[in-house]
Structure 1
Amino acid sequence: MNGRISGIVVLALIFVIASTLVACGGNNDAAGNGKTLIWGRGADTKSLDPAQVTDGESMKVTKNIYETLVDYKEDNTEVEPALAESWKTSKDKKTWTFKLKKGVKFHDGSDFNADAVVLNFERWMDKKNPYHKGGDFPYYSYMFGGYKGDKGHIIESVNAVDEYTVAFKLKEPQGPFLANLAMPSFSIASPKAIKKDPEGLNKNPVGTGPFKLEKWKKNDTITLTKNEDYWQKGLPKLDKVIFKSMPDNSARFTALQSGEIDIMDGLNPDDAKTVKRNDKLVLHEQQGMNVGYLAFNVSKDTPLKKKKVRQALNHAVNKKAIIKSVYAGLAVPAVNPMPESIWGFNKEINDYPFDLDKAKKLLEEAGYKKGFKLELYAPSDPRPYMPDGRKVAEYIQSDWKKIGVDLKIVSYDWQTYLEKTGKGEHEAALLGWSGDNGDPDNFLYVLLDKDNTRTPDAGNISFYKSDRLHDKLIKAQRSTDREERTKLYEEAQEIIKEDAPWVPLVHSTPGIATQSYVKGKFTHPINNDKLVKVDIQK
């Protein structure tokens, strides 16, 4: 949050929270609603249609309402059955056939079957489909090469073989295909709900998951209630979940300490030490499969069009100082656009060293000896990869001033921020990414390939278009040989480092803090927000 909240305001905020929540965190409420878990978070959800969004605050909720054909194992990114109980692939890796679970119901009582899977994919892939409404489906285009009719679109067809068998036919093999299907964006929604009001899924989600939407108070709370007919017997263990929007990290932590909420993310790094000393609280440190970065919008008519300028600015970012001050050490400097925990990471690449003299020299060579003015977007809401975007921007602003670059920092609320960067309105912007599936494609192709410069939901917000890079990434994407793909991704990272469309800043190890009575697993390479097995034990 921009600025500092005074102690009086914090106390007032806590009083309001305490007054408005139905029940104190983790308690059985007076109405007999059973176990209620309250999750304090930094911002509200953008949409409750998981196919429409890329932001973590939306996914955090929809992961508990919807389910995918396959999922990731509890401890890693290996794929396991979910709504599909088994699958097989053809020898040429172009046809994938899935056997679906029987007896699964959507929240509206309709049956989950092969026709449901087909309708969802046809809705996402075909812009001419009558249910392709509510906005674009950005993750579909990111992961499957665009939409039906686009040159790079990889899916030829999705067909129901019988009531509980569905077949995907691909135009070319796709190495990350199975991992892609496990992403929450490809959750299956009720055909009945889609046909009734496809745009309405943004506010009225209907899935097969462990929880159903009860109500949504914009910029305040989203309340989910237990799905009594959930197909996994004995689950979920909670009766109700309330996601509470609380933009200020410190106020949210105070609410956790006072027992008004049961769990919080966006923990200030310094507060992690306090959690460790409090026997009533538990700190869960996420594995850092993320990246916080500064993107240069090379499509704008600014000095950033010149590679030497971008290289100069890379030399003028003191990552270690930012990590020490903003992250309290709970991060490591980023060298490449993806973390070392992802296979295919190029260990041979050296980072641009922090060297202001070198930066000045490169600016002079580029024709900007006297520097220039630039506008930098900085997020006002805390993110797992960037707990205080404004403070990060101010560190960069201070160092860039020393090399003659006058930086103006601007901020917007989170949803507006995503919309503006997705449309390319920025000159430069701080943003980040939490890995979705453990595959290099999910970082390099989604965030830096020319295919993903499509507005209004560009994944590549640097709008950097390199045919050399594209050729490497598409070849890697269409290979099913891990060794070949690794080599291609290593070469791709060399191209990115040379062209410098970004300053890769950090890979953070964000903390989630819970009350000690909250039992469940909260650490996973991919942010683990699924609450199906979480319990409250007092």
Structure 2
Amino acid sequence: MHKREFLRLGAAAGLSLGLPGAAHAQARPGVLRVAMTAGDIPLTTGQPNQGAEGIRFMGITLYDGLTRWDLSRSDRAAAIVPGLAESWTVDPQDKRVWTFRLRPGVRFHDGSAFTADAVVWNLDKLLNKAAPQFDLPQATQGSLYTGGIARWRKIDASTVEITTKVVDAVLPYSLASVFMSSPARWEEMGRDWNKVAQKPSGTGPWRLESVRARERAELVRNPDHWDTARIPQSERLVLIPMPDVNSRVAALLSGQVDFVEAPPPDAIPRLRQSKMQIVTNVYPHIWPYMLSFEEGSPFLDVRVRRAANMAIDRAGLVSLLGGLAAPAKGMVDPGHPWFGKPALDLGYDPDRARALLAEAGFGRDKPVKARIIISPAGSGQMQPLPMNEFIKENLQDVGIAVEFEVMDWETLRSRRRLGAAAPENKGRHGINNSFAYWDPDIGLIGPASRFMKDSGFNWGDYYNPKAEELAKAAKQEFDPVAQNALLGRLHEVVVEDAMWIFVVHDLNPRALAPNVRGFVQAQSWLQDLTPVVVA
């Protein structure tokens, strides 16, 4: 089959699919119904699973962190602002020590007070295996954001001190995804997190009313949220897992949902014809292949890595995606302050790719053989199956034979956290895991360094001494302008080194019913649904 046809498979037929529950096709006033790409309801206890989509729909809805993202604007990249902590300072004598002053008067959904004791309790929940409230599922999800924390303590009822393992200028970014659950609710539910999951209590703008695994979660407005500007405009938010892309489109067209994540490109004309709103925006996201640097991996050779990048017809892939993506020139987009000035162009050049492979000892009769882990759907995975087939054909054209191992999104994420050296990943040379670069740790420092190995961002154990040096320097730089300059230089190194196979940046498309109002698509992996109403 010609690669230009991959995204057209069954799209038209999918739009006519009928879904159960047609009698409920019209939403009640004040109800916003969202079709997620996730295959299940994210964990509700505090630290959601299902990737960033879980944080988007079950993190910043039910919960708050000490810091948060300002998602109120579409014309600039989202920034970190105070959350449950109204301010913070760094000890000038020991820059590992942070002091957070907590916002007064905040209460959990169950009515109990949010205090320094609650912060300590929540950090124990994630980091202290001896604590009665320690919860391994939450600790696993939270490890992406808590890995740099060494110690924490209460100073007084409204002040908490957090000490990092190393000087960590990006801690406020991480804390935006460390969510505060109610200790009182945990006690009330018999100290059983499974029971808490059915009746969780955070401080966020929504409260969970009911949840049914793999079916739906219903959230209701929290009229007492501490930030009056973020009290939801809708009375109720209904979240529906719908990993099949055609089912999401059919549900929107039939009036069974109001808001759809990641509509397929070929459905866009039909959706627009039906007066649906198509919303896109630049945001910090890359769709890559993380590469293994373990013994036996063909990607240990930089010539093979560069050839793989130069084999990909990104413009053709963007065309297939209906213009809902942008060609990647590296880890971050060219307009980002961390892009720098890479000297190497990894753009489409199949002849150069073949020459590089020949230098490395490969050719038509001796192709590079690589096994890559992919998923059929998932948070930020765009249209993974047709995209992977397109890229497989590109790679084959220059002499790289790829075999895909397909697994569901959560299983893939677990395999990513284990790292390429884990026995489960033996013989796998790459993993197709969409990646956000919303903060320096996730976007560049973690993937490009070994000193942050515990973060899980460096799946393949990549190492370059220059990258390591720049990553450490950026981690310790508190001046934002100087930090951005260091990150730009780090990005230059990882592009020159072809650290991963960089494919496209997602434009984060969503489809909204004609009567949905108030949605502001932030330049962020997260989005705020509190201003949204169904007219």
TM-score normalised to structure 1 length = 0.85
State the 1:361 CA deviation. Answer: 2.4
The structural deviation recorded for 1:8 is: 7.2
Task: Identify if the C-alpha distance between structure 1 residues 469 and 194 changes in structure 2 by more than 3 Å, giving closer, same or farther.
Answer: farther
Partner of 1:387: 382
Deviation at 1:536, TM superposition (A): 2.6
Change (3 A) 1:402 1:170: closer
For residue 266 of structure 1, report the CA deviation from its aligned partner: 0.8
C-alpha deviation, 1:243, in angstroms? 0.9
Query: Out of 29, 32, 35, which is 1:37 matched to?
Result: 32
1:335 maps to 329
Alpha-carbon distance, 1:484 to partner? 3.2
> Which residue does the alignment assign to 2:235?
239
Structure 2 counterpart of 1:254, one-letter code: A
SS at 1:16's partner residue?
Answer: coil
In 2 relative to 1, CA 6–288 (structure 1 residues): closer, same or farther, beyond 3 Å? closer
> What SS does structure 2 have at the residue aligned with 1:448?
coil
What's the offset of the Cα at 1:360?
2.3
Instruction: Indicate whether 1:85 and 2:86 are aligned.
Output: yes
Residue aligned with 1:287, SS: coil
Aligned ranges for residues 112-511 of structure 1 at < 5 Å? Answer: 112-135=114-137, 137=139, 141-143=143-145, 146=147, 153=148, 155-170=149-164, 173-181=167-175, 183=176, 185-194=177-186, 196-198=191-193, 205-232=200-227, 235-279=231-275, 281-299=276-294, 301-325=296-320, 327-369=321-363, 370-381=366-377, 383-384=379-380, 386-423=381-418, 424=420, 425=425, 426-436=428-438, 439-451=439-451, 453-454=453-454, 458-511=456-509
Q: In the alignment, what sits opposite 1:100?
A: 102
What does residue 535 of structure 1 align with?
533
For 1:517 and 1:533, how far apart are their aligned partners in 2?
Answer: 14
RCO (CA 8 Å, sep 6+): is it higher in 1 or 2?
2
Report how far residue 365 of structure 1 moved.
2.2
CA shift, 1:236, in A, is 2.4
CA–CA separation in structure 1 for the residues paired with 2:9 and 2:254: 21
1:189 aligned partner, one-letter code? S
Cα offset for 1:477? 0.7
Superposition deviation, residue 107 in structure 1 = 2.3
Whole-Å separation in 2 of the counterparts to 1:258 and 1:331: 27
Aligned length: 510
Letter of the 1:215 counterpart = S
Matched with 2:25 is 24
Q: In structure 1, what residue type is equivalent to 2:260?
A: M
Aligned residues with identical type, % of pairs? 24
Give the residue type in structure 2 aligned to 1:80: V
> Greater CA deviation, 394-403 or 123-132?
123-132
SS state at 1:251 partner: helix
Unaligned runs of 5+ in 1: 29-34, 147-152
- Conserved 8 A contact 1:65-1:208: yes
How many angstroms does 1:401 deviate by?
1.9
The SS at the match of 1:14 is coil
| Contact preservation (8 Å) 1:132, 1:198 | no
Distance 1:85 1:487, change over 3 A: closer
RMSD: 3.0
Matched to 1:328, the amino acid is G
Tell me the alpha carbon deviations over residues 53-107 of structure 1, each in whole angstroms, 9 at most, x when there is no partner.
4702311222210011222222243333322233444445554333323332212
Matches of 2:467 and 2:14, distance apart in 1: 50
8 Å CA contact 2:185, 2:196 repeated in 1: yes
Shift of 1:298: 2.0
Aligned partner of 2:325: which letter? A
Unaligned 5+ segments in structure 2 are: 1-5
**Aligned CA distance change for structure 1 residues 254 and 198 (closer, same or farther; 3 Å):** closer
Which residue is equivalent to 1:31? none
Q: State the alpha-carbon separation in 2 of the partners of residues 355 and 224 from structure 1.
A: 50
Normalising by structure 2, what TM-score?
0.86
